[in-house]
Chains A and B, each alone.
Chain A
């Protein structure tokens, strides 16, 4: 059984059709990348997978671990092991990062019938994960994402992923706004989490991230459809030729 199966997914936002029939299968252990120009529907796909309710699914189905993902609330999907690293992480004033992380972990553990973790066990575990992402302890006592730099926010997303240990991680433009050092650290964190039990969907505009996180498959999304799929070399081809060639192919015109 595949970990994620998307069949002919169609999504509207207000009266505009954004996704026009997506098919995608992801097995445990695989890393796939979704690439595409701005406005192609990449982030919409990520948000729909995470069950954001402002999107209207008009057709198709999604099976996550064999279960109907579209019937789940966001928190149910999360507890089933789906994690979204946000493109724009949200600030929660007055709630410390450490408290937030432990609450999230315990919500997930509770859902799975596991005991809640107390602070004594939690903090040493968290410190280990911090090291991996070369993050300062001080970030634990600061309010969630408040006054974090762009790079700190993105690292904080990966830290949450490392704590929650999801089955499927969706990284939505995690590379945007990162300098080259931060990019390396984030990629290192992500790579450390690759495992035969876990799948990842890396959504990105640029090929640059894929130098560090090498995907098994690359899918090109244009105007709400996957127009090409291939191995990691496809990303390089795109970098070389840009999206315009593939966009015109998608429209049925011959390349210029």
Chain B
């Protein structure tokens, strides 16, 4: 096994190549969290009164939770208490207000995005991806706005949406994830500074993939973005998000909220490649990724599909879920979560079947290496009126080495006897015989590990848009740090 181990170690020593820091002037709030800070954030963004009111309500709710120590503790993750007063809740790159075009953007930020390989410039239109880029807390540029506007699709930063489409924001904000939902959702509602907003009008198929890249740059800040996507009747949209952060010794909090709403016959496909800084090989530093993502299939025949590839973050706590309200609506969750070194992930989904003949599919693949701890936590709930509901769950774990762990907590609750439930689960190890077989055919040990892992994840990668699937495969092999004892 020795050179297999070496190969894995070699992979381990590949550096986190997105770990650079960009030197830009920033405009930030003083450390700490109180009503004044909420007012400061809201004022910075020239928000209408209803937003400030909502934020304050959320803040007061969060504060009551904080005082009663109601930060969630049920997940299979461990970290020292977070001092919420020791962080800054607003950081924005200093720039001229009201950008007319990309040319006015701080060239340093543009260079950062170039390093990240984001097709921010319009000339890269061939890539066919419209990008909203969120740098620290503020959305810096949204490409292809005009082209999308021609078909009536709104794709803009959350701040612009509040300014230009307050009626839509008011109608849908917090209707899927209310600020009372959980501790981190409340915190996000209080302090979120930006994010993306998408509205696809009736009958429109969004003509291109929409994409957001999130980047935490500043030190000692948290990032709290909020995404809201509404697909009106008969509309469809595919949305991708990617994320990176610099290497820093301290842990940084990322508490995002994503809300999806699909009306009659609408479809939303949401794909994530999460590559926040995972911490070093001893578990120092890294992002705490505490995220609430939920979609509501409100209309009949609607469909929401989540695909996630989670390779980054020191700790991941996230359960992209579907509320299947409309008759015949469909929820899907495809997930690859990789934990390595001292990374911890507690991730999975909730499928809540309310409407008749609702269907859901869950395919979760967990990979643990090094000292990584990987937990799948899923809930499938069939309500009383959900006649003919069906769920299929497949949940597989792959272990690399003998110091890591895989854990599975499926919760199933059925209140209608016509429901059909299927659950499959497996746990396997990368075998010495598999490694030897591939190496005997000429593959290097590290390529053999990558091949086995990619094969294991294939069912999920198939769901990703093409360019993302390729990126995800590369990311997996880079992230396969680990040491086999």
Residues of A within 8 A of B (CB): 50-54, 73-75, 77-79, 83-84, 86, 89-95, 100, 103-105, 107-108, 111, 143, 160, 164
Question: Contact at B441–A92, with CB atoms within 8 Å?
Answer: no
Contacts of A104 in B (CB 8 A): 438, 441-443
Chain A nearest CB, measured from B165 CB (Å):
44
* Nearest 7 CB-CB pairings of A with B: A94-B455, A94-B458, A104-B441, A90-B437, A107-B442, A74-B439, A95-B455
Contacts of B443 in A (CB 8 A): 75, 103-104, 107
The CA of A103 and the CA of B458, in the complex, are separated in Å by 17
Contacts of A50 in B (CB 8 A): 436, 440
Chain A nearest CB, measured from B353 CB (Å):
29
Interface SS of chain B: helix, strand, loop or mixed? helix
Partner among A54, A92, A164 whose Cβ is within 8 Å of the Cβ of B442? A164
Question: Contact at A107–B1, with CB atoms within 8 Å?
Answer: no
Contacts of A94 in B (CB 8 A): 454-459
Chain A nearest CB, measured from B3 CB (Å):
6
Can you show 6 pairs from A to B with CB atoms below 8 A apart?
Answer: A73-B3, A79-B442, A94-B457, A95-B455, A107-B442, A107-B444
Given contacts A92-B451, A93-B456, A95-B451, contact A84 B438 (CB under 8 A): no
CB-CB contacts of B394-434 with A at 8 A, as 1s and 0s? 00000000000000000000000000000000000001111
A-B contact count (CB 8 A): 79
Question: Contact at A53–B438, with CB atoms within 8 Å?
Answer: no
CB-CB contacts of B148-189 with A at 8 A, as 1s and 0s? 000000000000000000000000000000000000000000
Question: Contact at A111–B442, with CB atoms within 8 Å?
Answer: yes
Contacts of A73 in B (CB 8 A): 3, 439, 445
B452 at the interface (CB under 8 A from A): yes
Given contacts A92-B434, A92-B452, contact A78 B440 (CB under 8 A): yes
Question: Contact at A78–B437, with CB atoms within 8 Å?
Answer: no
The CA of A100 and the CA of B455, in the complex, are separated in Å by 10
Residues of B within 8 A of A (CB): 1-3, 431-434, 436-445, 447, 451-452, 454-459
Given contacts A79-B442, A104-B443, A164-B441, contact A74 B436 (CB under 8 A): yes
Question: Contact at B457–A90, with CB atoms within 8 Å?
Answer: no
Given contacts A53-B1, A94-B457, contact A107 B447 (CB under 8 A): yes
The CA of A92 and the CA of B452, in the complex, are separated in Å by 7
Question: Contact at A74–B455, with CB atoms within 8 Å?
Answer: no
Q: Which of B2, B433, B441, B443 has the largest count of A CB atoms less than 10 A from its CB?
A: B441
Contacts of A54 in B (CB 8 A): 1, 432
Partner among A75, A93, A105 whose Cβ is within 8 Å of the Cβ of B439? A75
Chain A nearest CB, measured from B476 CB (Å):
12
Question: Contact at A78–B452, with CB atoms within 8 Å?
Answer: no
Interface SS of chain A: helix, strand, loop or mixed? mixed
- A54-B1, A104-B442 known, 9 other contacts, Cβ within 8 Å: A73-B3, A74-B436, A74-B439, A75-B442, A78-B442, A79-B442, A90-B431, A92-B455, A160-B441
Contacts of A95 in B (CB 8 A): 451-452, 454-455, 458
The CA of A164 and the CA of B438, in the complex, are separated in Å by 13
The CA of A73 and the CA of B448, in the complex, are separated in Å by 13
Question: Contact at A53–B442, with CB atoms within 8 Å?
Answer: no
**CB-CB nearest in chain B for A54:** B432
Q: Which of A89, A94, A100 has the largest count of B CB atoms less than 10 A from its CB?
A: A94
Chain B nearest CB, measured from A76 CB (Å):
9
**CB-CB nearest in chain A for B436:** A52
The CA of A78 and the CA of B452, in the complex, are separated in Å by 19
Contacts of B439 in A (CB 8 A): 73-75, 78
**CB-CB nearest in chain B for A77:** B440
Question: Contact at B437–A75, with CB atoms within 8 Å?
Answer: no
Chain A nearest CB, measured from B451 CB (Å):
6
Question: Contact at B455–A90, with CB atoms within 8 Å?
Answer: no
Q: Which of A53, A86, A89, A160 has the largest count of B CB atoms less than 10 A from its CB?
A: A53
The CA of A89 and the CA of B432, in the complex, are separated in Å by 13
Partner among B433, B456, B459 whose Cβ is within 8 Å of the Cβ of A90? B433
Partner among A74, A100, A143 whose Cβ is within 8 Å of the Cβ of B440? A74
Question: Contact at B2–A53, with CB atoms within 8 Å?
Answer: yes
Question: Contact at B455–A143, with CB atoms within 8 Å?
Answer: yes
Chain B nearest CB, measured from A74 CB (Å):
4
Question: Contact at A75–B445, with CB atoms within 8 Å?
Answer: yes
The CA of A74 and the CA of B6, in the complex, are separated in Å by 14
Q: Which of B439, B447, B458 has the largest count of A CB atoms less than 10 A from its CB?
A: B439
Chain A nearest CB, measured from B190 CB (Å):
43
The CA of A94 and the CA of B431, in the complex, are separated in Å by 15
The CA of A186 and the CA of B3, in the complex, are separated in Å by 33
Given contacts A53-B2, A86-B437, A89-B437, contact A108 B455 (CB under 8 A): no
Contacts of B457 in A (CB 8 A): 94
Chain A nearest CB, measured from B33 CB (Å):
46
Chain B nearest CB, measured from A119 CB (Å):
15
The CA of A94 and the CA of B453, in the complex, are separated in Å by 9
The CA of A103 and the CA of B447, in the complex, are separated in Å by 10
The CA of A52 and the CA of B456, in the complex, are separated in Å by 24
**CB-CB nearest in chain B for A78:** B442
The CA of A79 and the CA of B451, in the complex, are separated in Å by 18
**CB-CB nearest in chain A for B435:** A74
Contacts of B433 in A (CB 8 A): 90
Contacts of A74 in B (CB 8 A): 436, 439-440
Chain B nearest CB, measured from A16 CB (Å):
19
Chain B nearest CB, measured from A112 CB (Å):
10
**CB-CB nearest in chain B for A84:** B440
Chain B nearest CB, measured from A163 CB (Å):
10
The CA of A108 and the CA of B438, in the complex, are separated in Å by 12
Contacts of B452 in A (CB 8 A): 92, 95
The CA of A54 and the CA of B445, in the complex, are separated in Å by 15
Contacts of A107 in B (CB 8 A): 441-444, 447
Question: Contact at A108–B442, with CB atoms within 8 Å?
Answer: yes
Question: Contact at B455–A78, with CB atoms within 8 Å?
Answer: no
Contacts of A84 in B (CB 8 A): 440
The CA of A74 and the CA of B441, in the complex, are separated in Å by 8
The CA of A27 and the CA of B388, in the complex, are separated in Å by 70
**CB-CB nearest in chain A for B437:** A90
Chain A nearest CB, measured from B432 CB (Å):
7
Chain A nearest CB, measured from B84 CB (Å):
43
Chain B nearest CB, measured from A98 CB (Å):
13
Contacts of A86 in B (CB 8 A): 437, 440
Contacts of A164 in B (CB 8 A): 441-442
Chain A nearest CB, measured from B439 CB (Å):
4
Q: Which of B440, B447, B456 has the largest count of A CB atoms less than 10 A from its CB?
A: B440
Question: Contact at B441–A90, with CB atoms within 8 Å?
Answer: no
Chain B nearest CB, measured from A243 CB (Å):
28
